[in-house]
Amino acid sequence: MIGHWLAVAVFVEEGEHIIITDSLSAVPQAHLLTWLFQVMPVFFLVGGYVNGLGWQSAEGRGEGYASWLAGRLRRLVVPVLPVLAVWTLIGLGATGNISFGSYRFYAESFMLRIASQFALLPAWFLVVYIVVVLLVPLSHRAWRRYGMASFWALAGAAALVDLLALGAGWGLLGWLNYLFVWLAVHQLGYAWQAGGLGNPQRCLLWAAGGIAVLIALVSLGPYQISMVSVRGEEVSNSLPPRVTLLALGVFQGGLLLALEGPARRLLGRGVVWTATVLINGMIMTIFLWHVTALLVVTAMAMITKVGIAFVPGTAAWWLTRPLWFAAIAIVLAPLVALFTRFERIGMTRRGGAPPAWQLLLGCALVCFGLATLTLRGLPTESWPGINLLALGLPFVGGALVWFGGASEGTSDGRPDD
């Protein structure tokens, strides 16, 4: 969240013109900070731990794939639907199709495209993560049979894809690394859950190896320093993922797991654990809405010209970032309070699971709709000016995931462990 909140820079140039840009383009020295703020590898590492534990638990209960998958998907899919509903209204309003009370506004198509792409950026993670979740029975079977060799095989595949995509010019092949890179990190989550990464000293060796490979890749290869896409750079480390993100994941994971013991002792304190549980119960809602809150504050700053007096990268700009974060948090709080109920609905849904084919079809519709929106944004040239088909597909897919028939196994649709 902090990384995204830092990403947008608004300032007044020469006391007159309002400039909106991304901080990484305006402050190249900040590229190294993405090694800290690009935490998608940690998401997949933790996902591997949780999914491995949950799948083992489901197998022990005699629960089938469809029932287990339904519990996972309902928590992932349901919270994103209100975001799409609100942005549908914003899109219709921005194209002049509806008015908000007595107020009607218009936005240039390219501005709506950029804003909606950025607002729905968290949903891009969901697309990839849902695919990884679908493959858990296969990836976990590979872990149980081959152990760490399953990780190294995926890492080798990711390196080969990069070699062909960047070295041989087969650019489209690079998109395969959405699977190879994130599945490899996910395998490390299985290793963590099974105790296969060793003691803290060994985890530090993993971290040292990861950072050494990462430094070598950005120093000697065609890779950029920034671990997120930067305007104007020919090679992106994240769109599609490159082997650099896998090295970053090994570094971050090794470092964090080396600190697992102290972290668990810290979580043993009542206040810290209570706060963790409280936030975890609404974390998907926070994650999905934090960019929308950023855009609201950015729009207000541009209209009022408050808080945009400092050029990005200057000492004054950095010192005022906590105030910027506080303003966004104030806007985010009511959004979370209003929409967190949808996350809880997804967590507590009871009843039978749909058949596997229905879940897979629902996932396909959700992923296709979200991927289209995050890559192309809301605007279209045809009436009513926004892509209602892409916006509607996740709702249809969500309905397929939500409504089930007879219960399979012993599951009641609750999230696993």
pLDDT at position 231: 83
Task: Copy the structure tokens of residue 381.
Answer: 């040239």
Instruction: State percent of the chain over pLDDT 90.
Output: 67
Nearest-5° Cα angle at 25, 21 to 28: 140
Q: What single DSSP character describes residue 381? A: S
Q: List, as one string, the DSSP characters of 272-288.
A: HHHHHHHHHTTHHHHHH
Coil, strand or helix at 77? helix
pLDDT at position 320: 92
CB 267 within 8 A of CB 273: yes
pLDDT grade for 344, boundaries at 50, 70 and 90 = confident
Mean pLDDT of the chain: 90
For the chain, the domains span 2-402
Phi, psi (deg, nearest 5) at residue 239: -135, 85
| Host H or E run for residue 9 | strand 8-13
pLDDT at position 98: 66
Integer Cα distance of 300 and 298 in angstroms? 5
Instruction: State percent of the chain over pLDDT 70.
Output: 93
CA 220 remoteness from chain centre: 29
Cut 0.75: pTM above it: yes
CB 373 within 8 A of CB 394: no
Q: What are 53-75's pLDDT values in tens digits?
A: 999 999 999 989 999 999 899 88
CB 10 within 8 A of CB 308: yes
Residues with Cβ < 8 Å from 304, sequence gap 6 or more?
A: none
For range 229-238, the mean pLDDT: 88
pLDDT at position 275: 93
pLDDT at position 104: 60
Sign of CA dihedral 351, 355, 358, 364: positive
Of 204-218, 224-238, 326-340, the least confident: 224-238
Integer Cα distance of 194 and 395 in angstroms? 37
Coil, strand or helix at 347? helix
Q: What single DSSP character describes residue 416? A: P
Nearest-5° Cα angle at 259, 257 to 264: 95
pLDDT at position 309: 86
pLDDT at position 166: 93
pLDDT at position 416: 43
How are the residues of the chain apportioned to helix, strand and coil, as percentages rounded to the nearest 5? 70, 5, 25
For range 178-204, the mean pLDDT: 94
Q: What are 83-121's pLDDT values in tens digits?
A: 999 999 999 888 876 665 555 666 678 888 999 999 999
Residue type, 255: L
Nearest-5° Cα angle at 28, 25 to 32: 120
| Host H or E run for residue 35 | helix 34-37
With b for 16 or more beta-carbon neighbours within 10 A and e for fewer, the 376-410 pattern comes to: ebbbbeeeebbbbebbebbbebbebbbebeebbbe
Sign of CA dihedral 252, 254, 257, 259: negative
pLDDT at position 198: 85
Q: Please list the residues that pair with 12 across neighbouring strands.
A: 18
CB 250 within 8 A of CB 188: yes
Q: What are 361-416's pLDDT values in tens digits?
A: 999 999 999 999 999 999 988 888 899 999 999 999 999 999 875 444 444 434 44
CB 77 within 8 A of CB 346: yes
Q: What are 280-321's pLDDT values in tens digits?
A: 989 999 999 999 999 999 999 988 888 888 889 899 999 999
Q: Which long-range contacts (CB under 8 A, 24 or more apart) does 144-150 make?
A: 147/191, 147/196, 148/191, 148/196, 150/187
Coil, strand or helix at 1? coil
Integer Cα distance of 290 and 312 in angstroms? 21
CB 7 within 8 A of CB 38: no
Q: List, as one string, the DSSP characters of 116-163.
A: HHHHTHHHHHHHHHHHHHHTHHHHHHHHHHHTHHHHHHHHHHHHHHHI
For the packed helices 136-146 and 177-193, what is the interaxial angle rounded to 10 degrees?
Answer: 60
pLDDT at position 190: 97
Integer Cα distance of 190 and 45 in angstroms? 8
